[in-house]
Amino acid sequence: MRAVVVETPGDLDQLRLMDSVERPSVGDNDVLVRTAYAGMNFMEVLIRRGDYLRNPKYPLILGSEASGIVEEVGSAVTDFKAGDRVAVLSGDRGCYAEYVCVEQTHVVPIPDAMDLRTAAAYPLQVLTGWGILFASARIQEGDWVLVHACAGGVGLALVQMARIAGCQVIGTTSSEDKAELAREMGCEHVINYTQQDFGREVRKIVPEGVNVICDSVGKVNVIGNLRAIANFGLIVVFGYASGEPKYDDKLLWGRSCGITMNGLYHLVPHRREFTRAVRETTQWILDGRLKLHIGQEYDLSEVQEAHRALEGRQSIGKLLLRINSELK
């Protein structure tokens, strides 16, 4: 099968499209999926560069999420069968390929009304966003929520879901084009962090500070987050594009606020919560309350160009890799 392999961490040249990679074998609890589209995420840039917090072993096939058609299931799989339309969460590898194999708990059924292109943009961003807001932060109607990188894939999902829950949303981003998209998706206030101190600007909008901060940027946001957070607020860190953040406990104590981390793969084993997340978010997509903005598509052979866009902050919304896009 064709797959994008990273043999050793490094620059864009480490993304190598190979034509004769062995197809994954299927274990008893596994589901093999023929891939239609792969979703692209900044974490894959970090993995390719060797900067990911939990670096996997190399060589590896890159890619964290995809959509497609079930090709084969293991002997212990009861919830899926060949021919089912699904999305998959593969952890830190495997989806930039014509086939991907994951445990059945990491497979998400796709409603008949959702096409596979949309499905590839769905699982990692939307379910991550749901976990941040409803499992970690447990947001309440009327809360003020600050979303960093509000025009990215997770950011746009967070903005919309916070609004669905009745919250007021402030976002940060780096350009007017991105700010305009965030506003279209329901972000009431957008701060250009390249031109303004977002922590001080937040206090102008809401003097008591925000109740929840959703942060995938990390290190460079620490001071601003401490300025922006309200007493008894919560900072939820789910990424560190600028480096791992370090918070001073004394400063957190000074706000009586908290900090927590959120990872989607901690939600997956909690089947009742995970099932609720899938049920609610797919319904929001189908009824139009939650829109998945796909910014650009690339062929598998254009993976270096796609990573260049991700790495250079040139992307708006979700980027997809076309692999077997003829699948329906």
- Say whether pLDDT at 189 is over 80: yes
Upper half-sphere CA count for residue 57 (Cβ side, 13 Å): 0
pLDDT score for 92: 83
Interval 24-63: pLDDT, tens = 999 999 999 999 999 999 889 999 999 887 778 999 999 9
Pick from 28, 152, 21: which is nearest to 96 by CA? 21
Omega cis (within 30) before 109: no
CA distance 170 to 187: 6
Say which residues have a Cβ less than 8 Å from residue 79's Cβ, sequence separation at least 6.
Answer: 104, 107, 109
Say which residues have a Cβ less than 8 Å from residue 2's Cβ, sequence separation at least 6.
Answer: 17, 18, 19, 21, 97, 98, 300, 323
Domain 3-122+292-322, CATH: 3.90.180.10
Of residues 218 and 322, more confidence is placed in: 322
Interval 130-139: pLDDT, tens = 999 999 999 9
Q: Reduced to 3 states, what is the DSSP secondary structure of residue 42?
A: helix
What does the domain layout of the chain look like in residue ranges? Answer: 3-122+292-322, 125-265
Instruction: Give mean pLDDT, residues 287-293.
Output: 94
**Contact between 150 and 187 (Cβ < 8 Å):** yes
- Say whether pLDDT at 303 is over 90: yes
CATH class of 125-265: alpha beta
pLDDT score for 53: 75
- Say whether pLDDT at 314 is over 70: no
Tokens of 150: 């509000």
- pTM for this entry: 0.92
- Say whether pLDDT at 317 is over 80: no
- Say whether pLDDT at 93 is over 70: yes
CA distance 201 to 173: 13
Q: What are the phi and psi torsion angles at 210 (to 5°)?
A: -90, 155
Tokens of 50: 């060797």
Say which residues have a Cβ less than 8 Å from residue 184's Cβ, sequence separation at least 6.
Answer: none
